[in-house]
Structure 1
């Protein structure tokens, strides 16, 4: 059999039937969720296929719900989740970004809102906002604090890097390249430019997020810029 035959192609790329974990990495950019009469939250628009009997319910915002102000402020699909319920295999992805599965054991992690791909129903999600115009201009308008016990899946452009934060060594990051951080950290926003020049430009170079204390920050080799509605 030729290595380029259709049969060889199917055998190389087909789904692995032996994988039965709730959350599985089927490919580096493709998450498989094995539902057995369960519910899961996934990023709206992330479903690329499914097998079995699964129903989908579109949610207006993240599962915690938010007011009209944030709904008007955020454009695109990054703020919205979809509830999938039933029995079968669900496949989700986000623009070819790499997927990382994390299991929280009564722990918390903060994630850029656009980088949350999926989480179990047992996980609590709370939205926090950067109370600064710089946060809006950077596109890092909102973050999601995921806490409890269960699986979550986050996405990154390329291979991420974790930077350790200690009291002697705070970490400064570009908001557009910051994916996640440990739940005990509360970042500050640092900027040295005037309000006028900040509004005139939308790049993330003029300001940084500062992380102090003990914990970690996950960054990606890419500046992800989001559109904010006028």
Structure 2
């Protein structure tokens, strides 16, 4: 049997995290350091690997129950190679250092188990559609694999150059930045999804660090069918940012 498919073999590398292709992550396990991955993200593995789907740190379980935010993880342990993917989204590996990173948990694919995570609130006087006002803060030393819908843009933030970004497009930012949510319009209809301007809420970043945005918004396009009632209007619940539709698949 012959096919160009046989050229798509696994990448040979000594690195623990390898982006096999833009939508597929390869992680090597040595039996010592575990990997935490999004539940259901494993697409293949080689070797002797155990997957614990009941893993949930006590502090994150309490915080998730209180805020409605969080990330369902499975612990991967053993010796071998595991491949992860999620809805063919683009994958990017980030080295976390002393600066730390804050990220919407919807964009986390996998991370080193040695990293510390906690749910934090973003400063706002309103509830924000799409993004949600609770985010995941990651600190310590290790690697995190993030997902984006399309190739993202990394924006540098300095004391002289602050950044504003659509809250529905923001993926992650440096934990040391000062962040505030605000409306992009003064329309009295702003509490409707994006009011009547096509825009809605934004995040303002000040300080020294970075902000990562993707070329896709969590919210569906205008006039999309997203269900019924107030929750559907704001894009929450099953069709919202943290619902089942995580690949921006919407019907008109």
TM range (shorter): 0.7 to 0.9
How many angstroms does 1:181 deviate by? 0.9
Contact 2:178/2:207 (<8 A) preserved: no
What is the TM-score normalised by the length of structure 1?
A: 0.83
User: Who is 1:69 aligned against?
Assistant: 66
Q: Match of 2:100, SS?
A: strand
Counterpart in the other structure of 1:127: 119
Higher relative contact order (CA 8 A, sep 6+): 1
Name the CA distance, whole Å, in 1 between partners of 2:169 and 2:155.
Answer: 13
What is the RMSD computed on CA atoms of the aligned residues?
A: 2.6
TM, length-normalised to structure 2:
0.76
Cα deviation, residue 176, structure 1? 1.0
Q: Does structure 1 residue 208 correspond to structure 2 residue 216?
A: no
Any residues of structure 2 matched to 1:1-230 within 5 Å, and which? 6-16=1-11, 18-37=12-31, 38-59=33-54, 64-67=59-62, 68-70=65-67, 73-74=68-69, 79-130=71-122, 132=124, 134-191=126-183, 192-193=185-186, 197-201=189-193, 205-225=199-219, 228-229=236-237
**1:17-39 Cα distance to aligned partner (Å, 9 max, x none):** x3232111111111011011131
Whole-angstrom distance in 2 between the partners of 1:118 and 1:182: 18
Segments of structure 2 that go 5 or more residues without pairing to the other structure are 221-234, 239-252
By how many angstroms is 1:61 displaced?
5.3
CA distance in structure 2 between the aligned counterparts of 1:185 and 1:213, rounded to whole angstroms = 5
Distance 1:188 1:202, change over 3 A: same
Q: Can you list the C-alpha shifts for 1:12-58, whole angstroms capped at 9, x where unaligned? A: 11223x32321111111110110111311111121111111111112
Pair 80,141 (structure 1): closer, same or farther in 2 beyond 3 Å: farther
Question: Over residues 125-166 of structure 1, what are the superposed CA-to-partner deviations in whole Å (9 max), with x where a residue is unaligned?
Answer: 121123547444233343211111111111111111111212
1:102 CA drift (Å)? 1.5
Q: Write the distance in 2 (CA, Å) between the matches of 1:33 and 1:211.
A: 32
Count of residue correspondences:
218
- Measure how far apart 1:123 and its partner are: 1.1
Q: Is the 8 A contact 2:128 2:201 kept in 1?
A: no
Query: What is the SS of the residue equivalent to 1:69?
Result: helix
2: distance between equivalents of 1:197 and 1:88? 54
